[in-house]
Amino acid sequence: MSEIYTVILAAGKSTRYKGKQSKLLENLAGLPIITHVFNLAKKISGKNVIIVCNTDNISEFKKTINGCKFIIQKKQKGTADAILSAKPYLKNKDFLILFGDAPLVTLNNLKKLIQKFKLYQSAGTMLAFNTDNPFGYGRLKKINNKVLKVVEEINTNAEEKKITLCNSGIMIVKSKTFFQNLKMIKINNKKNERYLPDIFEIYYNQNNPFNYFICSEEEMLGINTIEDFVKADKIFQNNIIKKFLNKGVLIINPESSRFSFDTNIEKGVIIESNVVIQKGVKISKGCVIKSFSYLEGVNIKENCSIGPNARIRPKSFISKYVKIGNYVEIKNSSIGDSSSIAHLSYIGDTVIGKKVNIGAGTITCNYDGKNKHKTIINDGAFIGSNTSLIAPIKINKNSTIAAGSVVNKDIPPKNLAIERSKLKIIKKN
């Protein structure tokens, strides 16, 4: 679909959003809201995506988004003006209009919108939705399934308030006729702005009306307030959960857990309650992720047990049949087949081989105050409880480290290492 351009309107000031930052930069399941919309647009238009932004948010957008054209709407003169600012870059191509604060619309329905637009060779096709509570939405008035006009809430009469078919704002249009008609939109006297929905009546009066495609109300949720964000987040999480349940993933108490947009979980995995899964996590079949575990940036292979209360940080790899127990933290490490780190340990910047046992309270001392260093623990090694391994260090195959040891040099294969100070017993006065 690369012949279709996409324009994302993202120049609003987010005045109703009382959060710490712009609503479009708020993290929704691992990505800023604007990035969700951009990734969707990219699947439609490839490199032909234009984002209309403002002077305040453009620098932040550029930090997270690559491969598109950024246009600044210098003055807030309404959505019609925002589209007009993108005209020089559209090359008279048909284009799709999306909104930076509406991340829930699906690729499937956008494709259907485009198909209908092409099938009927219309001047434009819009997305509409039905709702039980249309208050606040622009009502869509139609004649013979053609769009007559959109009436904003403030301008509705008693009969129009009863209309449940509403305007989403999302549409696809023919570039040439669109910009001709865009100039005909009158300026709103109160705000000195020109509103994009006013264009539908212009088209109808030219006997060239828009048609429409209906999608769900959920998809059309625009995020204007913190309350809207919470609703969108819940919908997004529910959609992810539904996908996994249908796939054969057992999620205990799904409302208590969170997942990322890119979470990859295979059939047969069990997710217990209160699990948080951030970006970059893949979990293979047969695994159990126990309650209160927190995972990010990790690839977990088949038949592993993780948690409860485990934390696995980015750039980690867990091989088959591994046990990561309660209050264990893993960071930038790989764990070999059938190894066990059962409880209360920190493993950082470490390579652990096969069938290694890490006793409770083991610490890899990977940071010297300036640099990170590597710990290597080879196959079959046994690390006793409350051991400190001061990196860089290598524990070779089938070696044993006695409990309570502080180890600061390499241990040869099949050796026992013990480091303890002499126990002193002093009589109390």
Residue 51, CB-side half-sphere exposure with 13 Å CA sphere = 31
Active site residue 373: no
Query: Any residues with CB less than 8 A from the CB of 40 and at least 6 apart, and which?
Result: 98, 103, 105, 107, 110
Q: How many residues does the chain have?
A: 429
Q: How far is Cα 252 from Cα 291, in angstroms, rounded to an integer?
A: 9
In one letter, which amino acid is 34?
I
* 47/70 Cα distance (integer angstroms): 12
36, 77, 323, 343: the catalytic one is 343
The Cα–Cα gap between 209 and 93 comes to 19
CA dihedral 309, 313, 316, 318 (to 10 degrees): 10
Q: Are 381 and 407 in contact (CB under 8 A)?
A: no
**Please, is 15 exposed, middle or buried when counting C-beta atoms within 10 Å of its C-beta (0-12, 13-18, 19+)?**
exposed
Residue 338: left if φ>0, alpha if ψ -120 to 50, beta else—which one? left
Contacts of 208 (CB under 8 A, 6+ apart): 123, 177
CB atoms < 10 A from the CB of 95, how many?
26
Q: How far apart, in whole angstroms, are the C-alpha atoms of residue 110 and residue 263?
A: 23
Residue type, 383: I
In a 10 Å sphere around its CB, with 0-12 CB exposed, 13-18 middle and 19+ buried, how is residue 113 labelled? buried
Sequence letter at residue 265:
I
Rounded to whole angstroms, the Cα distance separating 71 from 64 reads 16
> Could you tell me the two tokens for 23?
């609503």
Catalytic residues: 343
